[in-house]
Structure 1
């Protein structure tokens, strides 16, 4: 299936995995709306996308954990299709649960889990009406393996896996596909400094951290393969096998 002319909404599209997915989808001819909460970063990101069709890539600036932002985005795009929804927005946790502040934990859950829920809630009905569409949610290897100092992050990412699998059961009969990616340790600003001495790489069978572009390749497969549905796809260099 070609992505030429497909209309995509990508949360977390201003950096990291989300931006890499946007760049690859745009190179395939898709039209992308990037969602994030830093306007300057969004502008820089959208300017880096290839333009292979008459439609202009767009940005929308809001906190994905705020349902009102999704309401406005849905309203602004009511006359447009949403062929592919990528929920890639997320923030990390670097503290034990007992030491973390309540506002920080609330922000983490609102961004990682509720942001994904709100995205699906607002655009799945549009896809159902179209009788086709693709949801790609970005979770984490920690959803299944846990992580020291990342308990609530892991819980939020596990929720994304459960959400996606349940959606797959609910919407498949309407021609809508739902899949989830479980990246391991990927070279982004979120993992900067985590592997200074190579100790983390030594734990990974492939011997290195992954690249955001490699996760984007997996997202492209899920977007293009019309029988890929209810996939929980690890992109972790084999770390989940250890």
Structure 2
């Protein structure tokens, strides 16, 4: 098993929900977290909630649209990203309309954030990891939304094959319905929970536990880990 003590972790979507839960858990284990998001105030609040342990790198935030190639390029030129040990791609948005009713701007945004953002993040961060010969972890899922998540799995499997020899690991977490701002109001009468074998929505902390396992286990590579209360079995 590896240790997160002293590791530097870059977490997209880190200002709330699953990304923030992962950051809080990683920080409690001695990691320094660089939180990426689109809202400066939300990022500041999130960073202030992270535990700072003795000897751990400082936590920080960076405003970035993950679908921006130039944004990623500028970030990776900064001294604070001189070393990245763990990458968590937790940024994501959901779909709220049927495919044939979806406006093109919504289609573009989902593809840009969920799939393109993950691809660019991996493209910019992994070369630095290859020089370090360190470890990596990748984070997680109506038509276009599902397609982006399936694309992330395919991307991760290809990356796993390409970079394993550099001791870089690539994994996917597939959360089911998790209690976040994204799912608020979706289960007002309990119908959604009734579809899940365990009878409830998951907690962000439960997804964070899975991220910690994948980050710590040095032989966990090319894993697709369902954290969905059994929903994918139905």
Q: Which TM bucket (shorter chain)?
A: over 0.9
Aligned residue for 2:172, secondary structure, equals strand
Query: What TM-score do the two structures reach when normalised by structure 2?
Result: 0.97
Aligned residue for 2:77, secondary structure, equals helix
Equivalent residue in structure 2 for 1:184, among 176, 179, 182: 176
What is the match of residue 143 of structure 1? none
Query: Take 1:164 and 1:181, find their aligned partners in 2: how far apart are those partners?
Result: 11
What is the match of residue 94 of structure 2? 92
Deviation at 1:25, TM superposition (A): 0.1
What is the match of residue 30 of structure 1? 31
Q: Is the 8 A contact 1:215 1:235 kept in 2?
A: yes
Query: What TM-score do the two structures reach when normalised by structure 1?
Result: 0.94
Query: Take 1:54 and 1:201, find their aligned partners in 2: how far apart are those partners?
Result: 39
Q: How does 1:85-124 map to 2 (within 5 A)?
A: 85-124=87-126
Residue 152 of structure 2 corresponds to residue 151 of structure 1: no
Moved more, 218-227 or 59-68: 59-68
Deviation at 1:81, TM superposition (A): 1.2
Aligned residues: 232
Equivalent residue in structure 2 for 1:210, among 202, 205, 228: 202
* Runs of 4+ displaced beyond 6 Å: none
Instruction: Note closer, same or farther for the CA distance 1:75–1:35 as it changes in structure 2 (3 Å cut).
Output: same
Aligned residue for 1:160, secondary structure, equals helix
Deviation at 1:77, TM superposition (A): 3.7
Residue 155 of structure 2 corresponds to residue 171 of structure 1: no
What is the match of residue 227 of structure 1? 219
More strand by share: 1
CA deviations on 1:196-240 (whole Å, 9 max, x unpaired) are 111111111111000000000000000000000000000000111
Query: Take 2:41 and 2:169, find their aligned partners in 1: how far apart are those partners?
Result: 32
Aligned residue for 1:187, secondary structure, equals coil
Query: Take 2:224 and 2:32, find their aligned partners in 1: how far apart are those partners?
Result: 25
Residue 49 of structure 2 corresponds to residue 48 of structure 1: yes
Q: Which runs of 5+ in 1 are unaligned?
A: 141-149
What is the match of residue 9 of structure 2? 8
Deviation at 1:78, TM superposition (A): 7.0
Aligned residue for 1:186, secondary structure, equals coil
Q: Which runs of 5+ in 2 are unaligned?
A: none
What is the match of residue 84 of structure 2? 82
CA-based RMSD of the aligned residues comes to: 1.0
